[in-house]
């Protein structure tokens, strides 16, 4: 094979990843799977699309080697093929935020008041949580928390917060996080807790951002 044909082949293989990532729905599927493995039905419900369309998107991601599947009874369960896939999505988003004005504008519109965002670095936040100076809550579903969560974080899914307020100290700052900067669960948690007199801030990071920064995560069998 001559050099030109070889280079064409190499770039063609790399381009398969780019083609698989060219759909907004596929990017969202990867973000969801970065939280932990999920069934096709659960993924379709999260994206508000039918199962057939979700399966087609997942097939494209599988052909590119980004996801794998297994069967559990009548269900097909999908997962990322590696932590590097989640890291790729974080890097892609960082590049998009840096170079696309439209994305920055959209993020500004959905972002919380800057005064309500965590203002310290990740290492300091981790130390504050370790000392018990703050309470970090993970407002994603329990299964996602069990798959991976930030150290010292408590599992408190958005749907349960109102019934579990007694578990949160009123005299300490609460830090809420969810699936990352595109996720709004933590905004809803902030609004709910703020209305009830808690001091609460939002952490833009999710587990993918934490992992991409080389910081530790924890997993557990139960919340």
Where in the chain are the domains?
Answer: 3-81, 112-212
pLDDT tens for 49-85 read 999 999 999 999 999 999 999 999 999 999 999 999 9
The token duo for 52 is 């057939």
Q: Whole-model pTM?
A: 0.91
Of the candidates 152, 103, 156, the one whose C-alpha atom is nearest the C-alpha of residue 132 is 152
The domain over range 3-81 is classified in CATH as 1.10.10.10: yes
Catalytic residue among 32, 174, 178, 193: 178
Decide if 89 is catalytic.
Answer: no
3-state secondary structure (DSSP) of residue 95: helix
- CATH class, domain 112-212, is alpha beta
Res 68: pLDDT: 98
Beta strand segments in the chain, E? 38-39, 67-72, 75-80, 134-138, 154-155, 173-177, 200-202
Measured distance CA(165)–CA(137) in Å, rounded = 12
Of the candidates 139, 138, 145, the one whose C-alpha atom is nearest the C-alpha of residue 35 is 145
Res 115: pLDDT: 74
Q: Are 172 and 134 in contact (CB under 8 A)?
A: yes
> Considering only 102-106, 130-134, 196-200, which range has the smallest mean pLDDT?
102-106
């Amino acid at each position: 094979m001559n050099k030109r044909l070889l280079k064409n082949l190499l770039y063609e293989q790399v381009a398969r990843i780019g083609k698989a990532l060219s759909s907004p729905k596929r990017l969202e599927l990867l973000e969801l799977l970065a939280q932990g493995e999920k069934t096709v039905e659960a993924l379709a419900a999260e994206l508000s699309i039918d199962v057939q369309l979700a399966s087609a998107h997942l097939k494209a991601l599988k052909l590119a080697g980004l996801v794998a599947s297994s069967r559990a009874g009548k269900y097909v369960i999908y997962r990322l093929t590696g932590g590097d896939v989640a890291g790729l999505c974080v890097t892609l988003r960082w590049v998009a935020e840096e170079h696309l004005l439209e994305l920055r504008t959209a993020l500004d519109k959905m972002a919380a008041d800057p005064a309500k965002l965590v203002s310290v670095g990740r290492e300091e936040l981790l130390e504050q949580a370790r000392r018990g100076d703050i309470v970090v809550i993970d407002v994603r579903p329990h299964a996602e928390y069990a798959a991976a969560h930030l150290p010292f974080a408590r599992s408190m899914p958005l749907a349960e917060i109102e019934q579990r307020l007694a578990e949160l100290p009123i005299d300490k700052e609460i830090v809420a996080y969810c699936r990352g900067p595109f996720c709004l669960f933590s905004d809803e948690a902030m609004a709910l807790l703020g209305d009830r007199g808690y001091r609460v801030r939002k952490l833009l990071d999710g587990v993918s951002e934490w992992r991409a920064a080389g910081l530790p995560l924890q997993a557990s069998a139960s919340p």
